[in-house]
Amino acid sequence: MNDPIAIARNSILVPAGLDDHHLDRLLGLLAGSHLDAADIYFQKSRLQSWVLEDGIIKDGNFSIEQGVGIRAVSGEKTGFAYSDELEYPALAQAAEAARAIARAGSEKRVRIGHVQAQRRLYEPIDPLESLPDEDKVDLLRRVDAEARRQDPRIKEVSASVVAVQDTVLVLGDDGTLAADVRPLVRLNVSVIAEDQGRREQGGSGGGARTDLGWFLVEDRAMEFAREAVRLALTNLEAEPAPAGSMTVVLGPGWPGVLLHEAIGHGLEGDFNRKGTSAFAGRVGERVAAPGVTVVDDGTLPGRRGSLNMDDEGTTTQSTVLIEDGILRGYMQDKLNARLMGVKSTGNGRRESYAHLPMPRMTNTYMLAGTRDPREIIASVPRGLYAVNFGGGQVDITSGKFVFSTSEAYLIEDGKIGRPVKGATLIGNGPDVLTRVSMIGNDLALDTGVGTCGKEGQSVPVGVGQPTLRIDSLTVGGTGSE
C-alpha cells in the first residue's frame, strides 16, 4: 500500500470508527455562514529512538502521538480546539468550541473534497521498520568505535538515532482533502575530548526524509563520527576569538543559518501582514548586494525541510525571497495570504495537531555565485573564517540577529590561521546582505540537522549557501586583536 490517503485513512480514521459521512458532518458543523475558512487536521506520529552512552546502548524509546486539530477562521479571528480522542463525539465537541469564534450561523452542507494529485519528494514509507532493531543499535556501536578509534584524547562518546513516521490528513471547507506520510531519520554524535586538563566538545550528525539505510551508504554515519572528533580536537587548540567589527568569511552549507535568521523569519507572512517585521512593506527594495539570490524551497527530494504538501494541504514550492539583491516576496500560509490578497506559498506549517499553523520556512538557501572559495579567503587581509555554527536567534522587529560559531579560524594575510573559540556574531537583518562582497561557486546544503523554533513550535528545516564574504560583521569574542 503506497497511497498516502489510504495509509492515513487506515491508520487514523478506521481505528477511531470514522467514515466519510462523519467527516462531511464535521465540515458541515464548521462551515457556518460567518466563517471564512475552516480545516480539520488529523495526525498520527510514531517515533523510535536509541541512545548510546559510555559504550553501551543505554536507552530506547517508542512513542505514539495522535490527535486532531480543528480550526475555524473569521476575518483575522481564529478559533481552535484539539483533541487526542478521535471518536466522533469528541470531534464534534472540538468543532463546536472552535467555531464559537464566529457568530453562530446555520449549518451548511459541505462535502469533503477530491483528492489532489500528489508529488513524491519522498516515499510514504515507515522508517521505524526500515532496519531491524539489532542493526540500529549495531550502527550506534560502530559509530562509538569509529569515534574512539580516531584519537586517545576522545573520552566520552554519545550517539543517538531517531526514526519518525508522521502521517497527516487535512480536510478543508475549501475542498481540500490531502494526506502526506512523512518519514524522517536523524543520527547525532557528540564527543568530549580531553587533553592536559582542557576539555572541549564536538558534535555532528545528519538526517533526511528517507529510511535508516541512508546512514549506511556513502559511509555517512562513520563520517559523522569522524567529523565530531575533528571538531572537538580542533577546539582543543582554539584560542579566544577576537572582539569587534571585522570581515567575516562564512563557509558553505550549515552557515546558511545566517539566511534563516537574518532574513528568513523577517519574510514570513504573518509578521509582514501585521507590520511587525523590519522587512514589512519593502518588497521591490534592495536588501542585498547584487548577485544575492535567496529562495525557500520545499521541493528538494528527501531533504529534512522538504514537504510534499504543507500542513494546510497546499503543495509546496520554491519561492524566491531575494532576487539579485531585490526583495521579491514573503512566505505565506492560507490565513495570511488571504488577508494580504495573495496566494499561499505552501509554507503553512505546524508542530502538531495541538498547534495552529503559521508561515514557516522549509529549506532556505542562497544560490551559488562564481568565485572560487580559495580566492575569497585569499582576498581577506585579516578577518574571521566561520565554518560551523550552533544556534541563532532573531528579533524580527528590530532586525537584529545573532548566531554562534562552533568552528572558526582567524584569517591572516589571506590564509586560514589559528582556530578560535566559539563567538557570537551579531548583525542587522535588513542590511547584512548588502555587505556581501563575494559569493562562492560552492553552494552546499546542510546535512539535515536543523530545527526551527517560533512561538513555541518546532519544525524541521534546512539551510544552505555558498562560501560568502561579508565585509563587516560584529564578532563577540574575548580576545584582543
Partner 1 sequence: MSITSTEDTAERLARLEQTIEHLLAEAKRLGASAAEASVGSSAGLEVGVRLGEVETVEHTRDNGLGITVYFGNRRGSSSTTDLSPDSLRAAVKAACAIAVHTQEDPCAHLADAALMAHGMLDLDLYHPWPIGVEEAIAIAAECEDAARAFDPRIVNSEGASLSAHSGLQVYGNSHGFVGGYPSTRHGLSCAVIGEEGDTMQRDYWWTSARAAADLEPARLVGERAAQRTVARLGGRQLGTCKAPVLFRAEVATGLVRSLVSAISGGSLYRRASFLLDHLGERLFPEFMRIHEEPHLPRGLSSAPFDSDGVATWAKDLVSEGVLRTYVLDAYSGCRLKLPTTGNGGGVRNLVVAMGERDRAGLLALMGTGLFVTELMGHGVNAVTGDYSRGAAGFWVENGEIAYPVEEITIAGNLKSMYAGLVAVGNDCDFPGSTRTGSWLIDEMTIAGQ
Question: Which CB, 14 or 56, lies closer to partner 1?
Answer: 56
Q: How many residues bind partner 1 (CB under 8 A)?
A: 74
Report 424-463 residues binding partner 1 (CB under 8 A): 424, 426-428
Using the rule CB under 8 A, give the single segment among 26-34, 131-139, 283-291, 295-303 that binds partner 1: 131-139
HSE of 160 in the Cβ direction (CA atoms, 13 Å)? 15
Report 289-348 residues binding partner 1 (CB under 8 A): none
Binding mask 250-279 for partner 1 (x = CB under 8 A): ------------------------xxx-x-
Using the structure block, give the residue that is written with the C-alpha cell 550502527: 139
Tell whether residue 13 is a contact of partner 1 (CB under 8 A).
no
Q: What angle do CA 472, 320, 256 make, to 5 degrees?
A: 40
HSE of 256 in the Cβ direction (CA atoms, 13 Å)? 34
Tell whether residue 421 is a contact of partner 1 (CB under 8 A).
yes
Using the rule CB under 8 A, give the single segment among 56-64, 165-173, 210-218, 294-302 that binds partner 1: 56-64
Tell whether residue 50 is a contact of partner 1 (CB under 8 A).
yes
Return the residue of 65, 151, 195, 323 that touches partner 1, per CB under 8 A.
Answer: 65
- The maximal CA–CA distance of the chain, rounded, in angstroms, is 76
Smallest gap, in angstroms, from Cβ of residue 110 to partner 1?
22
Question: Which CB, 370 or 478, lies closer to partner 1?
Answer: 478
C-alpha cell at 395: 528579533
Using the rule CB under 8 A, give the single segment among 25-33, 92-100, 172-180, 371-379 that binds partner 1: 92-100
- Name the amino acid, one letter, at 185: V
Using the rule CB under 8 A, give the single segment among 29-37, 75-83, 167-175, 214-222 that binds partner 1: 75-83
Smallest gap, in angstroms, from Cβ of residue 126 to partner 1?
15
CB 23 within 8 Å of CB 171: yes
Tell whether residue 423 is a contact of partner 1 (CB under 8 A).
yes
Question: Which CB, 138 or 372, lies closer to partner 1?
Answer: 138
Return the residue of 98, 309, 377, 438 that touches partner 1, per CB under 8 A.
Answer: 98
- Name the amino acid, one letter, at 36: D
Beta-carbon count within 10 A of 441 CB: 15
Question: Which CB, 295 or 394, lies closer to partner 1?
Answer: 394
Give one DSSP letter per residue of 258-320, joined into a string: HHIIIIIGGGBHHHHHTT-STTTT-TTSB-S-TT--EEEETTSTT-TT--SB-TTSPBP-EEE
Return the residue of 32, 67, 357, 460 that touches partner 1, per CB under 8 A.
Answer: 67
* Secondary structure of residue 371 in the 3-state scheme: strand
Report 177-236 residues binding partner 1 (CB under 8 A): 192, 194, 199-201
- What span, in angstroms and rounded, lies between the C-alpha atoms of 473 and 127? 42
Smallest gap, in angstroms, from Cβ of residue 12 to partner 1?
11
Return the residue of 2, 33, 61, 370 that touches partner 1, per CB under 8 A.
Answer: 61
- Name the amino acid, one letter, at 390: G
- What span, in angstroms and rounded, lies between the C-alpha atoms of 367 and 293? 6
Question: Which CB, 83 or 188, lies closer to partner 1?
Answer: 83
Using the structure block, give the residue that is written with the C-alpha cell 495570504: 337
CB 439 within 8 Å of CB 371: yes
C-alpha cell at 117: 494529485
Question: Which CB, 10 or 245, lies closer to partner 1?
Answer: 245
C-alpha cell at 328: 521579491
Tell whether residue 285 is a contact of partner 1 (CB under 8 A).
no
Smallest gap, in angstroms, from Cβ of residue 281 to partner 1?
11
Report 387-406 residues binding partner 1 (CB under 8 A): 390-393, 395, 397-398, 400-404
Alpha helices in 55-150 (DSSP H): 88-99, 133-150
Give one DSSP letter per residue of 75-139, joined into a string: TTEEEEEEES--SHHHHHHHHHHHHTTSPP---------PPPP---SS----GGGSS-HHHHHHH
- What span, in angstroms and rounded, lies between the C-alpha atoms of 264 and 277? 11
Question: Which CB, 2 or 245, lies closer to partner 1?
Answer: 245
Return the residue of 28, 60, 175, 414 that touches partner 1, per CB under 8 A.
Answer: 60
- What span, in angstroms and rounded, lies between the C-alpha atoms of 104 and 360? 32
Return the residue of 6, 216, 243, 339 that touches partner 1, per CB under 8 A.
Answer: 243
Question: Which CB, 2 or 63, lies closer to partner 1?
Answer: 63
Binding mask 132-171 for partner 1 (x = CB under 8 A): -xx-xx-----------------xx-x-------------
Question: Which CB, 208 or 233, lies closer to partner 1?
Answer: 233
| Alpha carbon separation from 76 to 171, 177, 196 (Å, rounded) | 20, 24, 61
- What span, in angstroms and rounded, lies between the C-alpha atoms of 56 and 466? 39
Cα-flanking dihedrals φ and ψ of residue 144, to 5°? -60, -50
